[in-house]
Amino acid sequence: MAAPLVLVVLVAVTVRAALYRSSLAAFIAERVEVASPLNAWKRVVEGLALLDLGVSPYSGAIFHETPLIIYLFHFLIEYAELVFMITDVLTAVALYLAIQDFNKVVFKKQKLLIELDKYAPDVAELIQTPMEMHYIPLKVALFYLLNPYTVMSCVAKSTCAINNSVIAFFILATIKGSAFLSAVFLALATYQSLYPLTLFAPALLYLLQRQFIPIKLKSKSFWLYTMQYASLYLCSLVVIICLSFFLLSSWDFIPSVYGFILSVPDLTPNIGLFWYFFAEMFEHFSLFFVCVFQINVFFYTIPLAIKLKEHPVFFMFVQLAIISIFKSYPTVGDIALYMAFLPVWSHLYRFLRNIFILSCVLIFCSFLFPVLWHLWIYAGSANSNFYYAITLTFNIGQILLISDYFYAFLRREYYLTHGLHLTRQDGTEAMLVLK
C-alpha cells in the first residue's frame, strides 16, 4: 500500500509546485474564501515585519496568529512553500495511517458483534468486507491531497494547513490509543484555533472504548480515566500558553488571538455566515448574537455524545464539520479536512437521500463565489447581497450534506440490528420514518 500512497503524494506535490510557479498563485492568495484574517499568509509576513521594526505584532489589528507561528516562521520564512507542501503531505499520511488503524478496529468490532448475534440475519450486504475497506485509507489521502480546496489553501500559504495537520495528528494519536499524545495534540489544536476544544468529547469516548471502560456516569473507572485525560489536556494547554508568553514576554496574544476569534470584530467577507450578519446587526444586539453564534458551535457536543457514544469516530467527523461551518472565520481549508473523511463512510452511499443535489449545490457555489466577488468588488455591478446569497446557499449545502450522512449512518445502524427487509404486521413491505 505504500507505493500508491507515494504516487499520490508525488502527484499532489507536483500540482502544488506547478501552481506556485504560475501566475495563479497571486490570484489565489488574495481570495477571501481561502485566506481569512486569521490565517492569511500576508498577515504572517506583516507580523514578522512588525517584529523587525520593533513593534509588537499584537499591538495592531492585523496579526492574529499564535506566537507559535511567529516562532516557526521566524526561522522558516524562506522555505515557506516547502513548509506548506510538507504540512499537506504529513496531514495526508497521518490520515492514511489513522484510517488504516480505524478500519482494523471497525472490522474487529463487526466480527465481535456478528459472533454475539447482535445483527439481524439478512444484513449480509451491509457488512463491510476487508476487500472493500482495503482502498479506503488511500482514498482518504487522495481526497485530502487532491481536493481543489486543499490545493488552493496550500498555494495561498494559508496557515489553515498547519491547523489541519495538528488535528490530523490528534486523530492519529487518538485512534492509535495513546492518551498522552492525543491530549498534547488536542491542546495544540485548541491553542491554534480554539474550536477543536469540542473534539475532547469524541476523543475521550474513543479512548474509553479502546480501554474497554463502560461509559456509565456512575462508574468510577470512567471518571478516573476522564480526569486523567482532562488533566493531561489542561496541563499541556497551560504549558503551551506559558511558553507563548515567554516568547514575547506579554499576554497581548490572548486578546489578539482568542478575543478576536470570539468577538468577531473584523467583518471581512468569507464563506461563513457571521460577516454579513454582524455588518447588518443593530448595535444593541451585537453582543447577544455574538454569544448565540459562539454557543452554537459548542452546544451540539453533548447531545451528539449521548447519541453517538458507540461511534466516536463518526462523532468526530460530525463535530469537525460543525466547527468548519460555524466557526467565526471559516475557509475552504477547514472544509477540506472533514471532506477527506467522506470515503470512510462510502458504505452509506445507498442510504443518502440528496447526495446529487447537494454535491451540485456545493460545486456550483464554489464556482460562483469568485464570480460574484468580482462583480461586487471590481465590476461594481452587483452588491454585497449577491455574495451573501451564495454564502447562505453554500452553508445550507454543507449542513444538509452532514445531516444526510448522519441520517444514513443512523439508518444503517437500524437496519443492522433490525434486518434489511422490514415487514409490517400484515406482511407488506414497510417504510422507515423518524418519529
Partner 1 sequence: VAAGPGPGRAGAGQERRDELREELLLSPLPTGDVAATFQFRTRWDADLQRGAVSHYRLFPKALGRLVAALGVRELHLALTQGFWRTRYWGQPPLQAPAGAELWVWFQPTVTDVDKAWKELSNILSGIFCASLNFIDSTNTVIPTASFKPLGLANGTDHHLLRYAVLPREVVCTENLTPWKKLLPCGSKAGLAVLLKAERLFHSSYHSQAVHIRPVCRDASCLAVSWELRQTLTVVFDFFSSGQGKKDWSLFKMFSRTLTDTCPLASQSKVYVDISPKNNEKELLEVSPPPTSVHEAIVQGDKKTYAVYDLLSPSLFNTSRSLNVQLKWKRPQDSSEMPIPILHAQRYVGGYGLQTGEICTLIYNTHPYRAFPVILLETVPWYLRLYVHTLTIITKGKENKPSYIHYQPAQDRRRPHLLEMLIQLPANSVTKITIQFERALLKWTEYPPDPNHGFYVGSSVLSALVPSVIAMKDINVEQSPLFTSLFPSSDGSSYFVRLYTEPLLVNLPTPDFSMPYNVICLTCTVVAVCYGSFYNLLTRTFHVEEPSRGGLAKRLANVIRKFRGVPPL
CB-nearer residue toward partner 1: 206 or 415: 415
The three-class DSSP label of residue 140 is helix
Least Å from the CB of residue 30 to partner 1: 7
d(CA 222, CA 260): 36
Cβ partners under 8 Å of residue 77, min gap 6: 45, 48
Q: Which is nearer to partner 1, 7 or 61 (CB)?
A: 61
Q: How far is the CB of 122 from partner 1 (least distance, A)?
A: 15
Question: What is the nearest approach in angstroms of partner 1 to the Cβ of residue 422?
Answer: 6
Least distance to partner 1 from the beta carbon of 273, Å? 5
Please report, for residues 245, 286, 336, 342, the alpha-carbon distance to residue 251 in angstroms, rounded to integers and kept in the order given: 6, 26, 32, 40
The smaller minimum CB distance to partner 1, of residues 238 and 377, is found at 377
| Least CB distance to partner 1 at residue 42 (A) | 7
- Compute the half-sphere exposure of residue 432: CA atoms within 13 Å on the CB side of its CA: 14
Between residues 217 and 434, which has the closer beta carbon with respect to partner 1? 434
Residue 103 or 354 having the CB closest to partner 1: 354
Torsion angles phi and psi, residue 28, rounded to 5: -70, -35
Closer by beta carbon to partner 1, 144 or else 293: 293
Residue 91 CB, nearest distance to partner 1 (Å)?
Answer: 27
* Alpha helices (runs of H) in 22-125, residue ranges in sequence order: 24-30, 41-52, 67-76, 80-115
How crowded is the C-beta side of 271, counted as CA atoms within 13 Å? 27
**Is 324:338 a contact under the CB 8 Å cutoff?**
yes
Find the shortest distance in angstroms from Cβ 378 to partner 1: 4
Q: How far is the CB of 5 from partner 1 (least distance, A)?
A: 35
Measured from the CB atom, is 137 or 202 closer to partner 1?
A: 202
Q: Please count the CA atoms within 13 angstroms of the CA of 212 that sit on its side-chain side.
A: 1
Q: Give me the residues paired with residue 429 across strands.
A: 423
Q: With contact defined as beta carbons under 8 Å apart, do 430 and 422 qualify?
A: yes
Quick check: 41 and 63 in contact, CB under 8 A?
A: no
Radius of gyration (C-alpha) of the chain in whole angstroms: 23
Q: Which is nearer to partner 1, 220 or 284 (CB)?
A: 284
Which parts of this chain interact with partner 1 (CB under 8 A)?
A: 30, 32, 42, 45-46, 48-50, 53, 55, 59-62, 265-269, 273, 275-283, 293, 296, 300, 303-304, 306-307, 322, 325-326, 376-378, 380, 383-385, 388, 392, 395-396, 399-400, 403, 406-407, 410-411, 414, 422, 424-425, 430-435
CA 102 – CA 338 distance, rounded (Å)? 16
Q: Smallest Cα–Cα separation from 377: which of 268, 304, 250?
A: 268
